[in-house]
Amino acid sequence: MPLLSVKNLHAYYRTEAYGISRTVRAVDDVSFELQKNEIYGIAGESSCGKTTLIKVISGSIKPPLRIEGGTMTYTFDGRDVDIASVAPEVMRREIRWKEISYVMQGSMSILNPVRRVRRIFRHVVDTHQGIDDKRKFEALCRDHLKKLGLPPDILQAYPHQLSGGMKQRIAIALATIFRPSLIIADEPTTALDVVVQRGVLQLLKDIQAESSNTVLLVTHDMAVHANVADRVAIMYAGTIVEEGPTEVIFGAPQHPYTQHLIASLPVIGDKGTRSALPGAPPNLASPPSGCRFHPRCPMAKEICRRVVPSMIQLDTLHRAACHLVGEREEA
């Protein structure tokens, strides 16, 4: 039983200004499953729709973003929940933070600049557990922070007095305080220096190992996926182009875009120059026809321009969407 099953999900931003309307197809026909007790990574370059995908599957959809098709079904304790049709109040009280929690992109600025850190812990705990008693609350927080190796004094601090790494850890501490089934982390290590990054990742890994829940880790940084993820999905221009176990994605990537991403990873001792991908990421308001990667793909063929490649199952856990892969399979 997967924790989450997403099928043919479409989510677009529709905006209008001075008579010019625009549709950004940020998530376009995405399907995947999250298993219990795994770290699932999503990779892809900036503005390919990673954050949008997260917003949709965590049920925080606000205009101009709209779901235009597909299904998303969670299974919490054997109970199926269609996230798109949950009443907002139920969503807010019973699912947020208890089942799905979220380490937002840009965690540097998620803390209210004019209130002490304690306040947000207080609000979150009060909202979801109704713990009003000050001592109980204090004990719960201190306990939780200590377990994560954070000094409890940070509750007393104002955000501007904390370092970036500390704020990121606080975001993780907040997300894990109720041991949710799913923790979504959006770029948790971007904007941190390498040493701090390692600490933050270790923290995430430890928490996952301890409570065997699911972590959905989104980052454009392939090295992070290599170190942390069990399975990785590669996103390009609003679609998933390849998915597989981490070793397979890094060891035998099939999609040309994945191959490019892996090839451009720095390798110790390698002095050769790596080829940069020509061209710019596509504009999601008017994506290329056929395979969205075709204008930049070194192996593009005539058919790529016209026909959208379908997802090909290469192995039980490995699949990719590319005409080349399809031909090879048929042959």
- Backbone dihedral region for residue 290 (phi beyond 0: left; psi -120 to 50: alpha; all else: beta): left
The contact set with ligand SF4 (CB under 6 A) reads 255-256, 291, 293-294, 297, 299-301, 304, 309, 322-324
* Strand, coil or helix: 65: strand
Q: Distance (Å, rounded) from C-alpha 182 to C-alpha 100?
A: 5
Q: What is the residue whose two structure tokens read 């928490």?
A: 207
Give the β-pairing of 319-321 and 214-218: unpaired
Q: Where are the alpha helices (DSSP H) in 148-188?
A: 164-176
Binding residue (CB under 5 A) for Mg ion from 15, 31, 51, 190? 51
How is residue 206 written in tokens?
């430890």
* 52 near ligand ATP, rule: CB under 6 A: yes
- Residue 293 contact among Mg ion, ligand SF4, ligand ATP, none, beta carbon within 5 to 8 Å by kind: ligand SF4
Binding residue (CB under 8 A) for other proteins from 14, 115, 301, 306? 115
Closest approach of ligand SF4 to the CB of residue 286, in Å = 17
Beta strands in 129-273, from DSSP E residues, in sequence order: 182-186, 214-218, 231-236, 239-245
- Residue 1 contact among ligand ATP, ligand SF4, other proteins, none, beta carbon within 5 to 8 Å by kind: none
Site for other proteins in 51-80 (CB under 8 A): 58, 60
Quick one: DSSP state of residue 95? I
How far, CA to CA in Å, does 152 sit from each of 9, 29, 143, 163, 331? 42, 44, 8, 15, 62
Q: Which stretch binds Mg ion (CB under 5 A): 51-59, 148-156, 243-251, 257-265?
A: 51-59
Closest approach of ligand SF4 to the CB of residue 298, in Å = 8
Nearer to ligand SF4, 172 or 249 (CB): 249
Phi, psi of 229 (to 5 degrees): -80, 150
Q: What is the residue whose two structure tokens read 């219990």?
A: 36
Nearer to ligand SF4, 50 or 294 (CB): 294
Binding site for other proteins (CB under 8 A): 15, 17-20, 22, 58, 60, 91-93, 96-97, 101-102, 104, 106, 108-115, 119-120, 123-124, 127-128, 158, 160-161, 174, 285
Q: Which residues bind ligand ATP (CB under 6 A)?
A: 13, 15, 24, 26, 46-52, 64, 105, 220, 284
Q: Which residues bind Mg ion (CB under 5 A)?
A: 50-51, 105
